[in-house]
Structure 1
């Protein structure tokens, strides 16, 4: 099982089919094979060896697509960098997995001097933009033009495909190691479970390509020989224009994106009839949003996926037919065919149907482990089961309902925020004695990050000042959007902050 196999097969069976559309650029399968083989040769000439990590810090583009294929073609391991991180967070991930080569686009090229300062291991930076290559970077197109194509290294199976960083409860991101087998098992199992994508369709990349949700859709599209249409990032106008211009049939969106689309006045007048499949995840869709979506996009079939980076990423799927049943709309669906899922109690034994416990998952799609974190790996992977940290139950028909998150993870706009990470930053402010971070319901983002702060004796600070302080330490989406000041935090007899009490008080 090789990620690159689908490209080789497309070049063999449909060499002249356009596989990528990005702005004015359209490239066929045979053109992409040649470019990928040359990019792999260029990476080898820069010293990339077997298993070396190669990173990319970029908005969506056809060159991102080529990167995901060229790195394993060169026998390397991809490290897609979260584009919403601060320079310090990016540098941590690059250093942690010893990334020596990094690709950057126009948006992130200005960060290169700072990243070089923070990441001494970084040897080569490749500029993937369309202008002149900035100082101290190599031009992407020049490298491809000057490189000899190399044969596919044949990396696959249990070989590492990528390291995908996700937030950690200790405040440091964890590098999730996913093999070729894991990613392809998730993609193939999802295709078998429900109708996600017709063969030879057109998929829109509006969600960030560094994210496992979009990468899962990318993998499925590659397997089915689909055409990839890339827009740099999600905007309502960008989605509408791409759908109308390229007759897009399939899209991966998070509920926040869907809400922005259906609420936009210009969407009502647009021709979106080509959209026949919308995959979404990160959170269930509300009844009101579902109704507006079905009204705007009557041709679109909806599929919800539940999972996590550690599961490459799909565990369960809620089919379009399931969405028609009101009592199932708060469910995240039933286990996909590749996913062995059960609900367990504290004794690790499976609980009865409709009884609450932790969701655990087993299968070939489960991660290899966390990069250089054996203790965290052992805690998450026990007896072959990935412990998700999510609390839920399974009904008599096998539908899974997520009711809470053990790790106090906040999902805002489809992005995961771990409360402890933000609390650690707040604790560094001289005016803050104690802080707790929770997620509160938000009409636009699903949840917003909310901080509850106890000030140090005699200290004064405004919410804006606290936000400005946090802005220098974490990505923008992790910033507290609302802040409350209290005299004391509710604690248990053991001194543990009672976040459930905080949520009840705030709501």
Structure 2
């Protein structure tokens, strides 16, 4: 299987149907296929050889969609760049991957000189924006217009499809190598559920298209022959308008986006009834937020996907039926149709149900490995099982419960505290908008549970009130012994809270970051 397969099938079956909607611009499947074939020819003309990496640094757009198809069409490898990285981090990924062709839009065109200086092997820069093309770049539209279409290389199977760099929250980022088969297995797993990306799908892309969570939704929609409704970046009003104007039926959202939407004062001013599916993931969601979201989108069936980039990215799914059972809302679901999941101990032995261990997964969705890092690959993938680094347990019905990142577990007074449990408890307080829980050094307890909290507008709360609230939901030793109140939490491009930044203030100057 290959990423362009769904496009070919759609052109054969309904060439004049709309494939992309971006602002006032719409394109049919036939038009997209023609443009993709022409841009693939342009890439080859600019020296892109089979297996070469082609990067893109841009906000979401219909041209981003075409990039995702044209690069494999040209027998090359995708390298979507994290748009929130600094020029230093971006240049590292370009150097590490050996990328020589880069696409940029208007938002990132000013970074071209700095990137050229920091990544001297970078050759062709292609401008995909609607504004003037910078002098040291070539126009995407000129390339499409100036080349005749070439046949699809149909790069697929076990061939490398893309390098997807991890967030870089610790050390240098790693390039996750995913094959076409990896990505297609995950997409087919989503489609085979029967409740995701069904007939007539109009998928809203508000999450960043460089991120594998959104790419999974993009791939499933493309494979199913659906329509892509694209907004440049997440903005609550733009999202609501896109749903109302273009009748979006499916949306991939991370929890922080869901919370912003349901808290927005204009949510009742837009017709959101077309939305039938909300797929969420990338980070845990507080149960209280999820319950409010289900009320805010009464026509939408909610599905949670748990996984990671290295799993292309889906491992488990919590189905819409599961969401109708309150006791299931804390779970991350059961193994997806294409995935096998276990909970193991430090010796990789499966543990008893209800016992916390490391979540591991196996199947055709497990990555090829980390780019030029065989030791890291060997440490992560053992006997075919991808070790997620997440701590969790499986109940008697096969539902996986993620309790926290293993490294985020702290030991306070000799007791293990899994911080996700604490965060769920705090999020249930009506004054709490969002929160993160970390371990900080404590002379008495070794480490103590510390909460970093964003309050809802107009609300007040003390650390002691927060602790007493938590103790009504979880054991007293898990309740935060200290708290700070901030205006916002630092988040990555994927919407994950950057706990490393929160910890840094408290652990500065210490040789060890744990007690």
User: Scaled by the length of structure 2, what TM-score is found?
Assistant: 0.82
User: Counterpart of 2:274 in 1: which secondary structure?
Assistant: coil
Cross-structure match for 1:459: none
Do the aligned partners of 1:284 and 1:329 also contact (CA within 8 Å) in 2? no
Distance (whole Å) between structure 2 residues aligned to residue 6 and residue 357 of structure 1: 39
Q: Tell me: CA distance 1:404–1:289, structure 2 relative to 1, closer, same or farther (3 Å).
A: closer
Do the aligned partners of 1:448 and 1:481 also contact (CA within 8 Å) in 2? no
User: 1:298-341, CA deviations, whole angstroms, 9 ceiling, x for partnerless residues?
Assistant: 10000000000000000000011111212211110000011011
Cross-structure match for 1:62: 62
User: Counterpart of 1:265 in 2: which secondary structure?
Assistant: coil
Do the aligned partners of 2:343 and 2:350 also contact (CA within 8 Å) in 1? yes
Cross-structure match for 2:469: none
Cross-structure match for 2:171: 171
Distance (whole Å) between structure 2 residues aligned to residue 444 and residue 134 of structure 1: 42
* Cα RMSD, aligned residues only: 2.6
What's the CA shift for 1:131? 1.4
User: 1:273-298, CA deviations, whole angstroms, 9 ceiling, x for partnerless residues?
Assistant: 11110000023332322232122211
User: Counterpart of 1:188 in 2: which secondary structure?
Assistant: helix
Distance (whole Å) between structure 2 residues aligned to residue 101 and residue 135 of structure 1: 16
Q: Tell me: CA distance 1:333–1:87, structure 2 relative to 1, closer, same or farther (3 Å).
A: same
What's the CA shift for 1:475? 12
Q: Tell me: CA distance 1:11–1:120, structure 2 relative to 1, closer, same or farther (3 Å).
A: same
Q: Tell me: CA distance 1:318–1:168, structure 2 relative to 1, closer, same or farther (3 Å).
A: same
Distance (whole Å) between structure 2 residues aligned to residue 487 and residue 387 of structure 1: 29
Cross-structure match for 2:2: 2
Do the aligned partners of 1:450 and 1:481 also contact (CA within 8 Å) in 2? no
What's the CA shift for 1:449? 8.6
Consecutive unaligned residues of structure 2, counting only runs of 5 or more, are 410-418, 443-489
What's the CA shift for 1:406? 2.2
Cross-structure match for 1:32: 32
Do the aligned partners of 1:102 and 1:122 also contact (CA within 8 Å) in 2? yes
Pairing 1:480–2:501 present: yes
Aligned residues: 448
Distance (whole Å) between structure 1 residues aligned to residue 210 and residue 507 of structure 2: 38
Consecutive unaligned residues of structure 1, counting only runs of 5 or more, are 410-437, 454-470, 490-494, 500-507
Q: Tell me: CA distance 1:79–1:487, structure 2 relative to 1, closer, same or farther (3 Å).
A: closer
Pairing 1:498–2:498 present: no
Do the aligned partners of 2:259 and 2:289 also contact (CA within 8 Å) in 1? yes
Cross-structure match for 1:260: 260
Do the aligned partners of 1:39 and 1:144 also contact (CA within 8 Å) in 2? yes
Q: Tell me: CA distance 1:298–1:169, structure 2 relative to 1, closer, same or farther (3 Å).
A: closer
1:281-360 equivalences under 5 Å are 281-360=281-360
What's the CA shift for 1:132? 1.6
Distance (whole Å) between structure 2 residues aligned to residue 449 and residue 127 of structure 1: 42
Do the aligned partners of 2:254 and 2:494 also contact (CA within 8 Å) in 1? no
Distance (whole Å) between structure 2 residues aligned to residue 295 and residue 487 of structure 1: 43
Distance (whole Å) between structure 2 residues aligned to residue 221 and residue 326 of structure 1: 29
Distance (whole Å) between structure 2 residues aligned to residue 46 and residue 175 of structure 1: 24
Distance (whole Å) between structure 2 residues aligned to residue 277 and residue 475 of structure 1: 20
User: Scaled by the length of structure 1, what TM-score is found?
Assistant: 0.84
